Amino acid sequence: MKLQLAIDKLNLLQALQAVEKLAAYVDIIEVGTPFLLDAGREAVKQLKAKFPNKEVLCDAKIMDAGGYEAKLAYDVGADYITVLAVTDDLTIKGCVEEARKQGKKVLIDMICINDFSARVPVLESLGVDVIAVHTGADQQASGRTPLQDLEELRRCVKKTPIAVAGGISSKTINSYLAFRPDIIIVGSGILNSHDPEKEARLIAHAIKEANK
């Protein structure tokens, strides 16, 4: 299992400084959608340049022009791009084809997908690299968590690695580890905590123990 740090509400300088302190605990650095809108592809480029031994995910949430938009992210150093599962299969196929050309990966975001049993087999047939359940910030504000979706995804997926995102912290991490996700995505749980380095260390330790 890997720990992915989701950066959403920092500017580029703040993000570089934060990752400098947290890099020892994370495997994947995510340029979250708000961060991407603020700093653009430069955020991906600089993070990959400064932390070349870490994987970088560009949370572009692609919905159209899959191959072209994926290429924009891959060309500046992204190891992963995200595409929304609700989009057309041709868009997803375009992302996968570009990923294969460049030796990169595609993560599918299942946000707003209600029928996992119908959609997951199609996504797996398209050759995506990771399927992620994602409880968005607006849903979290209403009290929803990704645990139920994670349990359902684990039942539906046959071979593809899975990821989970949405309100995870050191206090809740063990509930998620029970379902053996391949990637655990944490953003505000670390970055908004009183002591981000301590929080990252606790989560990373829990994952390390679960990986034994």
Which positions ≥6 away from 192 have C-beta within 8 Å? none
Instruction: Look at residue 183 and tell me whether its pLDDT is greater than 90.
Output: yes
What is residue 201's three-state secondary structure?
A: helix
Which positions ≥6 away from 59 have C-beta within 8 Å? 6, 30, 31, 32, 33, 36, 82
The pLDDT of residue 117 is 96
How much of the chain, in percent, has pLDDT values that exceed 90?
90
Taking residues 132-143, what's their average pLDDT? 75
Q: Of the given ranges (58-67, 83-92, 138-147), which has the lowest mean pLDDT?
A: 138-147
Distance of alpha carbon 76 from alpha carbon 57, whole angstroms: 11
Distance of alpha carbon 7 from alpha carbon 135, whole angstroms: 16
Q: Could you tell me the CATH number of the domain that includes residue 64?
A: 3.20.20.70
What is residue 134's three-state secondary structure?
A: strand
Taking residues 188-207, what's their average pLDDT? 98
Q: pLDDT band for position 136 (50/70/90)? A: low
The pLDDT of residue 70 is 98
- The total domain count for the chain is 1
Q: pLDDT band for position 138 (50/70/90)? A: confident
Structural domain for 49, as ranges: 2-211
Instruction: Look at residue 37 and tell me whether its pLDDT is greater than 90.
Output: yes
The pLDDT of residue 109 is 97
The pLDDT of residue 134 is 81
For 110-130, what is each residue's pLDDT tens digit? 999 999 999 999 999 999 999
The amino acid that residue 98 corresponds to is E
Q: pLDDT band for position 140 (50/70/90)? A: low
Q: pLDDT band for position 167 (50/70/90)? A: confident
Q: Which long-range contacts (CB under 8 A, 24 or more apart) does 166-174 make?
A: 166/133, 166/134, 166/135, 166/136, 166/139, 166/140, 167/135, 167/140, 168/203, 169/193, 169/199, 169/203, 170/199, 170/202, 170/203, 170/206, 172/145, 173/202, 173/203, 173/206, 173/207, 174/206
For the chain, what is the mean pLDDT? 95
Taking residues 143-148, what's their average pLDDT? 78
Instruction: Look at residue 135 and tell me whether its pLDDT is greater than 90.
Output: no
Instruction: Look at residue 146 and tell me whether its pLDDT is greater than 90.
Output: no
